[in-house]
Amino acid sequence: MKQSAERLLERELRSFAETHPRSRALSERARSSLLAGVPMQWMLRWAGGFPVYAEKAWAARFRDVDGIEYVDFCLGDTGAMTGHSPEPVVRAVAEQLGRGITLMLPSEDALWVGEELTRRFGVSRWQFALTATDANRFAIRLARLVTGRPKVLVFNWCYHGTVDETFATLRGDAVVERDGNIGPPVPLDETTRVVEWNDVQGLERALAHGDVACVLAEPALTNIGIVPAEPGYHDALRSLTRKYETLLVIDETHTLCAGPGGYTAAHGLEPDVLTVGKAIGSGIPSAAYGFTEEVAARIGGTIAVDDSDVGGVGGTLAANVLSLAAMRATLTHVLTDEAFERMIGLGRRFEEGVASVIAEQSLPWHVTRLGCRVEYLFRPERPRNGSEAAEGQDHLLDRLIHLYALNRGVLLTPFHNMALMSPATSEADVDRHTEVFAAAAAELVA
C-alpha cells in the first residue's frame, strides 16, 4: 500500500498545483512579508504544499480564490463547529459592534452566558477568556492558588492549547518535553506529571506524591485521534483526584461535540473546574472557565483585588462585550439541543459511510465517533491510550487522504482524519465524503 500511496500522492500534488494557481501565487507573495510564508506556522501542515486561500466561507462550505467550492468538515478545527458565520450570531455581533466592542466593564450578556453555562455543564461560577488556551492557563493558576501545590498532571499525547506545562510526554517513566516544543521556559518535569490515559494504577502512583494541584484532562483524548475512556475510568479519575485532594479540570473545548453540555453532561461527570472555548462564540474569540461552588469559595478572598490586574489571570480584552454577545447568540440560536441531535445523527451517517468502505475493501483501519466528531485511523483497533494512538499514525496516508479529498472539494482537518458536523452540514455533504473516501480506498488497494 505504501507504494501506491506514494504514487497517488505525487499525482494529487501535481493536480493540486495545477488547479490552485491563485492560492499558489499568494503563497509565493507571502514569503516576503510573513515568517515562513504563513500567518501562523500550523498552516504549513496543509497537504498540498501550500495552503488554499479562502475567499468566502458560509454554512458548512467555503470557496477559494481559484473559485473552487468545498464542503468543510474541518470547520476551523472546531472554532466554526457552528457552521461559518451563522446568521443569528452575525446579527448579534453586528448590533454589538455598533454599541461598543471592549470596555473593561461587564454587560448583561455575561450573566446570561454564565447562567446558561451552569445549566449546561453543572459548575456554577464562571470567568471568561478569549481562547481555550487561556482558559486552561488561568484554571491551572487558580488550582495552584487554592491547593498550594506546584504541579499539573496531564495525559500522554494530550493537547490543551499552547499551555507550557502540557507539552510533556513520557520516555519510559521519565517526563520529558514533546518533540517540537519551542523554547520551553523550564524543564517539563519541574511542572508536570504525565500518565497514560486509561491507566488507573499509573494515575494513583502519580497523584500519591501529593504535589499535583490539578489534573487537566479532555474527557476523551481528541488530539492524537479519539481515545475514549474505558468503562469505569472516569469514576476512578474522580475518586482518585478526590482521595489525593487534587482538582479535576475537564477541558471540553473539543468534546463539546458530545452534546449541548459536552461530555460532562452526556456522561454525568463531576469536575471541579471546566474549561471550554473555540466554538462557543462561533469563532469570535471566546472561552470560559467555571468552578464549583466549593472551589469558588476556596478562591474567594484569596486574590487581592488591588493586585488582580497583574496577577497573571485575565487580559485586557478578555470578557469583552463583543465576545459575550457572540457567546450568547451562539448558545441561544446555534448550538442548541435540537442542533446537536441533528449533528450527532449526521456523525452516525458519516461513521457508517466510512465503516462500510473499510469493510468492503477489507482495510486494516477503523473509524471512531464522539457525538458529531468522527475520525478514521489507519490501524485495525482502537488505541487504548495516547502512546498507542501516536504509534498508529501514518503520515503518508494522512497526507494522501487529505489531498485526495481536497482535490475533490472536501476539507478534513489537517492534523488527522477528523471530520466535524455543524448545524449547517447536510446528508449530501456527508455522502460526498463517503464517495470520495471510497474512491481513494479503491485506488489504494488496486
Ligand X SMILES: Cc1ncc(COP(=O)(O)O)c(C=O)c1O
Which residues bind to ligand X, rule: CB under 6 A? 131-133, 136, 159-161, 218, 223, 251, 253-254, 277-278
| Closer by beta carbon to ligand X, 9 or else 229 | 229
Minimum Å gap between C-beta 286 and ligand X is: 10
| Closer by beta carbon to ligand X, 20 or else 373 | 373
Residue number, nearest CB to ligand X: 161
CB 186 within 8 A of CB 192: no
Minimum Å gap between C-beta 422 and ligand X is: 17
Minimum Å gap between C-beta 361 and ligand X is: 31
3-state SS class at 433: helix
Residue 67, amino acid: G
| Closer by beta carbon to ligand X, 162 or else 239 | 162
User: CA 16 to CA 64: how far, in whole Å?
Assistant: 13
| Closer by beta carbon to ligand X, 53 or else 415 | 415
Nearest-CA neighbor of 330 among 93, 60, 121, 101? 93
| Closer by beta carbon to ligand X, 407 or else 422 | 422
Nearest-CA neighbor of 213 among 273, 164, 276? 273
Minimum Å gap between C-beta 111 and ligand X is: 24
| Closer by beta carbon to ligand X, 132 or else 214 | 132
Minimum Å gap between C-beta 307 and ligand X is: 26
CA atoms within 13 A on the CB side of 121: 32
CB 274 within 8 A of CB 133: no
Minimum Å gap between C-beta 124 and ligand X is: 21
| Closer by beta carbon to ligand X, 250 or else 324 | 250
Q: Which three cell numbers stand for residue 364?
A: 486494516
Minimum Å gap between C-beta 184 and ligand X is: 18
CB 427 within 8 A of CB 349: yes
User: CA 160 to CA 115: how far, in whole Å?
Assistant: 25
| Closer by beta carbon to ligand X, 220 or else 410 | 220
| Closer by beta carbon to ligand X, 133 or else 407 | 133
Burial class (CB in 10 A: 0-12, 13-18, 19+), 300: exposed
Name the residue with cell 493537547. 159
Instruction: Tell me which long-range contacts 16-21 makes (C-beta under 8 A, separation of at least 24).
Output: 16/48, 16/49, 16/403, 16/406, 16/407, 17/48, 17/49, 19/66, 19/68, 19/407, 20/48, 20/50, 20/52, 20/64, 20/66, 20/68, 21/66
CB 74 within 8 A of CB 412: yes
CB 131 within 8 A of CB 297: no
Minimum Å gap between C-beta 320 and ligand X is: 16
Minimum Å gap between C-beta 144 and ligand X is: 19
